[in-house]
Copies of this chain bind each other. A is one copy, B any other.
Amino acid sequence: MAKLPYTLWIEGHRVLTWDQRRLPFREEVIELSTWQEAAHAIRSMQVRGAPLIGVTAAFGVALGLRELAGSGRHSSLTAAQTALDEICASLIATRPTAVNLAWGVNQVRRAVAQAPHPDWARVAWARALELHAADAQCNAEIGNHGLSAWKEMIARAKDQARPLQILTHCNAGALATVAWGTALAPVYQAHQQGIAVHVWVDETRPRNQGASLTAWELARAGVPHTVIADNAGGLLMMRGQVDVVIVGCDRVAANGDVVNKIGTYLKALAARAHQIPFWVACPLSTIDPDTPGGMQVDIEDREASEVEQMQGLVEDQSSALYQQMVSVRVVPVGSAVLNPAFDITPAALVSGLITERGVIPATGKAICQVLALEPA
């Protein structure tokens, strides 16, 4: 059985991951052994989180090419190219809007294009492994830099013989990435280094990624944590029970505004009111220099059913559905629902962006500087 912080791992030529649809109540490892299985895993949301989807798609292409090589049916270059095109198109079509998905597919495709046709399967697998390692490495670096930024706070908590109290929203953990996660990377590294930490886990309505995914992965990694309603964070901060807030991000605008899961902004406001540092874990790939500010981001309204219904496990032993996952309605039928997926945290509320290249202020200038260093 795999150990966190890895969410997608390789054993020989086997690609393994969790079926995230079953979490947190069923821990099921699935093996992706064909490109169709990789496509299915993405489409059915067995895997989720942009980086994880991208790497899964990359392995999808590699698995497809291995299949072709094994079958011998596509010995001509033209036939192989047609088959490759089909596999890539099918993988890219699994989710409509995931940028990382096309990116992962195209990374492998580009590597293959420069190799002789009989080497495709080997080259594709090697490239997928590189992408896998690169994502893990990126997040490990975010973990290092985050931990450095927290050094004084950690020392203070240690002096007071108490754990560092961290609050997080949604799931920017290992399960959204290949390994470590982004917001949880410093948490895992602290825990591995024997630094006492405790995480307040926002439930994160309406989709409950905190209560289901973050709580599950922290429990599995042995990190002490407590689930709270999204409403509770303000009181905890007022009482001095939170040392630091860290969240991931869906997009960071050129001016440092942070677009992240709905509810992030309320926690940033509360952190500011109580002078609590509010950090954003931010791989450089999530910075969009073409978006001037957060208000220019079109916030997606998701389906009302996410608010209207809750999915969970039936625990009543006398029930006909004991131990089954059931969806229940929690909003009256006659009431309208609005379900915006993200909100905008103004740069001024952000203590800093923790990137794989170090911690930078959430300002246009710092963002320009760090992006200028990046290879195109």
| A interface residue numbers (CB < 8 A to B) | 24-25, 200-201, 203-206, 208, 211-212, 215-216, 218-219, 224-236, 238, 261-263, 265-267, 269-270, 273, 299, 307-316, 319-321, 325-332, 334-340, 342-344
Contacts and interface: CB of A to CB of B under 8 A. Distances in A.
Contact of A269 (B228, B234, B308): B234
Given A229-B307, A234-B263, A215 B335 contact: yes
- List the 6 closest A-B pairs by CB distance, nearest first: A231-B263, A312-B328, A24-B332, A235-B343, A320-B320, A234-B265
Given A225-B336, A228-B337, A265 B235 contact: yes
A229 B215 contact: no
A227 B331 contact: yes
A212 B330 contact: yes
A226 B328 contact: no
A227 B336 contact: yes
A130 to B, nearest CB: 34
Kindly name the residue among A319, A327, A342 whose own CB sees the greatest number of chain B CB atoms within 10 A.
Answer: A327
B344 A238 contact: yes
A10 B80 CA distance: 82
14 contacts: A211-B330, A224-B336, A227-B337, A230-B230, A235-B262, A235-B343, A265-B270, A266-B266, A310-B310, A310-B330, A314-B326, A315-B329, A321-B326, A328-B328
A232 B340 CA distance: 7
A351 to B, nearest CB: 17
B299 A235 contact: yes
A49 to B, nearest CB: 19
A280 to B, nearest CB: 16
Nearest to A304: B227
Nearest to A207: B229
Contacts of A238: 265, 343-344
Given A231-B204, A231-B205, A319 B316 contact: no
B262 A273 contact: no
Contacts of A326: 314, 316, 319, 321, 326, 328
- The number of times this chain is found in the oligomer is 2
Contacts of A211: 307, 330-332, 335
Nearest to A339: B229
Given A235-B262, A238-B343, A219 B332 contact: yes
Contact of A312 (B208, B227, B330): B330
B310 A312 contact: yes
A299 B235 CA distance: 10
A209 B297 CA distance: 32
Given A215-B332, A310-B330, A320-B320, 14 more contacts: A25-B332, A203-B331, A211-B330, A212-B331, A215-B331, A219-B334, A227-B335, A229-B263, A230-B263, A231-B263, A266-B270, A315-B327, A315-B329, A321-B321
A201 B335 CA distance: 10
A361 to B, nearest CB: 21
Contact of A328 (B224, B311, B332): B311
Given A215-B335, A229-B206, A340 B263 contact: no
